[in-house]
Amino acid sequence: MTRRPDKLSEDDRVLWNLVARTAKPLKGKFAADIPEIPAEAKPSQSQPAQPVANVAGIAKPKAQHVTHRLDEPTLDKLSKGRLPIEGRVDLHGMTQDEAYSLLFSFLHRAHAGGVRYVLVITGKGSSSG
C-alpha cells in the first residue's frame, strides 16, 4: 500500500473548500474560517464556466425538500409500541386529489399541534382513474 501525499492537489483543495462552506458546525462549536478560493483556481473567462461540484459528481442539496429518517432506536420503539402514535389518517378509497387535500390539512394540523408521530394509511390506488 502506498502512502498518500501530505498535501492536497489544487483541485482537491478547491473542492474541499466548497464542501466545507456548506457544512454546519455542531451545537456549541464555532465555524472555522475558510479562506477564499484564490483567483488562479477560479475558472477564467476564456474557459466555459463549469461548477466544480458537478465535475466531481457531487449534486447540490435541494433547499426545498429535506427528508428526515427515523433513527434505529426510535423506529424500534415505534414498532414495539413503546412510543404512542398520536394521530392517524386513512386514505383508502379516495382519489389522488382528495387524498392529497386531506393529507396536507392533516399534517398541517398535526405539525401546528406539536404532534410528533403520525400514521398515514395509504391504499394501492388503481390505474383506471
Q: Where are the domains of the chain?
A: 10-55, 72-121
- Express each pLDDT in 11-20 by its tens digit: 888 887 787 7
pTM, rounded to two decimals: 0.44
- The residue with greater pLDDT, 91 or 18, is 91
E strands in 3-117 = 87-90
Rounded Cα distance between 93 and 99, Å, is: 9
With beta carbons less than 8 A apart as the criterion, state whether 78 and 85 touch: yes
